[in-house]
């Protein structure tokens, strides 16, 4: 069965693909083994390099840095989703005086690198009389950049729906806001969910840029902790622990997206089965 992107491979192509996959796996495992061996030879697995994990003060500070990362992500995600929804609706407006400014704002903030946004909010904004501080500089930077990307995701998701959906709603007398709220958005959100979660994962990883303005999140604390001479400068062990924390949070977001997708599919199937089961039950009762 053919796909949009490629044709189904034949017997020879399948054998070739399996061979390439096997060779790639061996190469990756070999590189990983080499890295682990180098870590071992340089003493990165020595107990002295990992002793810092036993100190209660470091554990509390690590949790505090993790909380700073999480709260910046949560606030940035909430504001970015709201920003994206508002400006996506603005870009879909029939009124040019709404659509044109919203389009300009989205395109501008999508084009500006996130680092520049954070630097401007933290270093330049006080010169204009506005002092956001470290936390809000990071959060607003994440909001403006990722919110602009999400606005385009929302707009594209709504535009991807068949026009017959909205035309059928208009034909029964529904207004545009009713069509958008009850017909278009529920279907579009299910289509956009993977892209939304992917962008939220990007937002989570982008929160690490806060260390550039000394916001005390995970990466900042890892850099500080890895440079302490009395702990034998455990930069690699600390980096491994912080990387494991970031990977765990990203996997948790992916699991949450999968859970929502399965739940939406079960709900959709239940709604489709229920109307079909009702006439069957009535027919059986009549007999």
Q: Report pLDDT digits (tens) over 207-261.
A: 999 999 999 999 999 988 888 888 888 888 898 999 999 999 988 888 887 787 7
Q: What's the distance, CA 200 to chain centroid?
A: 2
Is the Cβ–Cβ distance between 142 and 72 less than 8 Å?
yes
Query: pTM for the whole thing?
Result: 0.79
The torsion angles phi and psi of 58, rounded to 5 degrees, stand at: -65, -40
Say which residue the tokens 């059986």 belong to: 284
Is the Cβ–Cβ distance between 161 and 187 less than 8 Å?
yes
**DSSP designation for 9:** P
pLDDT at 17 over 80: yes
Instruction: Express each pLDDT in 69-120 by its tens digit.
Output: 999 999 999 999 999 989 998 888 888 898 999 999 999 999 999 999 999 9
- Range with the lowest mean pLDDT among 2-16, 225-239, 255-269? 2-16
User: At a CB cut-off of 8 Å and minimum separation 6, what does 233 contact?
Assistant: 226, 227
Instruction: Express each pLDDT in 174-212 by its tens digit.
Output: 777 777 777 777 777 777 887 888 899 999 999 999 999
Query: Over pLDDT 70: what percentage of the chain?
Result: 89
């Amino acid at each position: 069965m053919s796909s949009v992107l490629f044709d189904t491979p034949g017997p020879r192509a399948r054998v070739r693909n399996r061979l390439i996959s096997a060779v790639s796996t061996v190469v990756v495992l070999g590189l990983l083994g080499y890295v682990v061996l180098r870590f071992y030879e340089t003493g990165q697995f020595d107990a002295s390099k990992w002793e810092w994990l036993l100190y209660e003060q470091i554990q509390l500070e690590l949790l505090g840095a993790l909380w700073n990362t999480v709260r910046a992500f949560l606030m940035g995600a909430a504001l970015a989703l709201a920003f994206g929804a508002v400006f996506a609706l603005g870009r879909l407006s029939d009124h040019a005086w709404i659509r044109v400014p919203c389009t300009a704002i989205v395109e501008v903030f999508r084009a500006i690198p996130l680092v520049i946004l954070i630097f401007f909010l933290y270093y330049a904004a006080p010169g204009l009389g506005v002092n956001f501080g470290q936390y809000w500089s990071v959060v607003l930077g994440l909001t403006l950049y990722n919110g602009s990307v999400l606005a385009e995701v929302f707009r594209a998701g709504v535009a991807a729906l068949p026009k017959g959906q909205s035309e059928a709603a208009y034909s029964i007398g529904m207004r545009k806001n009713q069509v958008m709220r009850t017909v278009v958005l529920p279907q579009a959100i299910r289509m956009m969910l993977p892209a939304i979660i992917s962008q939220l994962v990007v937002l989570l990883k982008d929160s690490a840029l806060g260390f550039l303005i000394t916001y005390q999140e995970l990466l900042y604390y890892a850099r500080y902790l890895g440079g302490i001479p009395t702990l034998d400068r455990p930069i690699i062990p600390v980096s491994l622990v912080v990387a494991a924390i970031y990977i765990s949070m990203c996997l948790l977001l992916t699991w949450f997206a999968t859970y929502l997708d399965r739940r939406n599919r079960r709900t959709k199937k239940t709604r489709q089965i229920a109307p079909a089961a009702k006439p069957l039950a009535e027919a059986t009762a009549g007999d």
